[in-house]
């Protein structure tokens, strides 16, 4: 079965509209698709309608940014109710933090002689829940850098002139929010946090204790070593294994939409935790 439980649309830092994303998923014969934009569910109604047209089972989702021991961690919520009050308030709060961060980055860039205010304004015009990716794309559009990667390397990345440390809600509140919105909390791309094996185990243990139910195990772009470690963590902490591409845009070959990846032996498929609701 082709499933993809981690994707982005233009409602966050993806480049396709939700309907375009669903059309691409249909081309790739995806049968179950979750839209998990950063800190917003703005695209879910459009994606749901498009999935209904294409006969794809849609899973309303979100990828929430939070903090654990001073580090930025991402938690995917699957099967969450789009209009849930606490979740909507959380999204509003995160959008405010993101807008403030964007403006702070703009101010820093202005100190280096760039049109930081203009960049921030144009990035915000594109997305109400802006990410640094939106700023990077504006820099490319204006010919200030050759690529999005160069924008991070020169201006936006850690330790660069436009780096602004932002504060995110704690992991506990994030898991609580997803669970209270009827969803399943999944720890996203754990291999990308640059944590030591011991600290990563502590994160997984605490995530489970707080009510987390899943771990992304079969991801596009993981090497065999990472895949093996993620599977071992899922088994050890009895977390169900999720499958997703973290797709953002066509043309990034290491994050292909709907890539079929079989879950390793002994890992419970996360799909079994989601309510059955065929389109
Ligand atoms: Mn992203
Ligand atoms: Mn992420
Ligand atoms: Mn993502």
What is the model's pLDDT at position 255?
72
What is the model's pLDDT at position 260?
58
**CATH number, domain containing residue 101:** 1.10.150
* Residue at 258 is within a domain: no
What is the model's pLDDT at position 261?
66
What is the model's pLDDT at position 279?
36
Gap from CA of 246 to ligand 1 centroid (Å): 8
Give me the domain span that covers residue 122.
95-156
* Residue at 145 is within a domain: yes
Gap from CA of 113 to ligand 2 centroid (Å): 31
Gap from CA of 188 to ligand 2 centroid (Å): 6
The tally of domains found in the chain comes to 1
Query: For 20, what's the count of Cα atoms within 13 Å in the CB-facing half-sphere?
Result: 12
Strands 214-219 and 57-68: unpaired
Are 253 and 43 within 8 A, CB to CB?
no
* Residue at 67 is within a domain: no
In angstroms, rounded to a whole number, what is the distance separating the alpha carbons of residues 121 and 124?
A: 5
* Residue at 253 is within a domain: no
Gap from CA of 129 to ligand 3 centroid (Å): 14
Gap from CA of 46 to ligand 3 centroid (Å): 19
* Residue at 104 is within a domain: yes
Q: How large a percentage of the chain has pLDDT more than 70?
A: 97
What is the model's pLDDT at position 1?
82
Gap from CA of 235 to ligand 3 centroid (Å): 23
* Residue at 244 is within a domain: no
* Residue at 107 is within a domain: yes
- Stated pTM of the model: 0.94
In angstroms, rounded to a whole number, what is the distance separating the alpha carbons of residues 168 and 151?
A: 23
What is the model's pLDDT at position 278?
41
- For residue 249, give the ligand nearest its CA: 1
Please identify every stretch of the chain with a pLDDT value under 70, giving residue numbers as ranges.
253-254, 259-261, 276-279
Q: Which of 220, 222, 225 is nearest to 260 (CA)?
A: 220
* Residue at 36 is within a domain: no
């Amino acid at each position: 079965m082709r499933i993809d439980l981690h994707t982005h649309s233009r409602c966050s830092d993806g480049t396709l509209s939700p309907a375009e994303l669903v059309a691409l998923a249909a081309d790739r014969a995806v049968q179950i698709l979750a839209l998990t934009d950063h800190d917003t569910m703005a695209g879910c109604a459009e994606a749901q309608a498009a999935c209904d047209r294409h006969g794809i089972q849609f899973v309303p989702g979100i990828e929430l940014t939070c903090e654990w021991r001073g580090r930025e961690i991402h938690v995917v919520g699957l099967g969450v109710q789009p209009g849930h009050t606490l979740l909507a308030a959380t999204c509003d709060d995160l959008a405010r933090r993101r807008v403030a961060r964007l403006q702070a980055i703009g101010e820093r860039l202005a100190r280096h002689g760039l049109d930081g205010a203009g960049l921030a304004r144009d990035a915000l015009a594109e997305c109400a829940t802006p990410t640094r990716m939106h700023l990077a794309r504006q820099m490319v559009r204006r010919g200030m850098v050759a690529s999005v990667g160069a924008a991070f390397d020169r201006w936006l990345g850690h330790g660069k002139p436009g780096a602004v440390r932002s504060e995110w809600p704690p992991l506990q509140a994030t898991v609580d929010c997803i669970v209270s919105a009827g969803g399943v909390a999944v720890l996203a791309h754990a291999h990308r946090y640059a944590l030591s094996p011991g600290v990563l185990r502590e994160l997984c243990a605490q995530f489970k204790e707080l009510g987390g139910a899943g771990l992304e195990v079969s991801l596009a772009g993981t090497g065999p070593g990472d895949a093996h470690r993620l599977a071992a963590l899922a088994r050890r902490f009895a977390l169900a294994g999720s499958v997703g591409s973290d797709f953002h845009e066509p043309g990034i070959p290491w994050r292909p939409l709907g890539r079929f990846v079989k879950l390793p032996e002994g890992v419970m498929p996360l799909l079994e935790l989601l309510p059955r609701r065929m389109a």
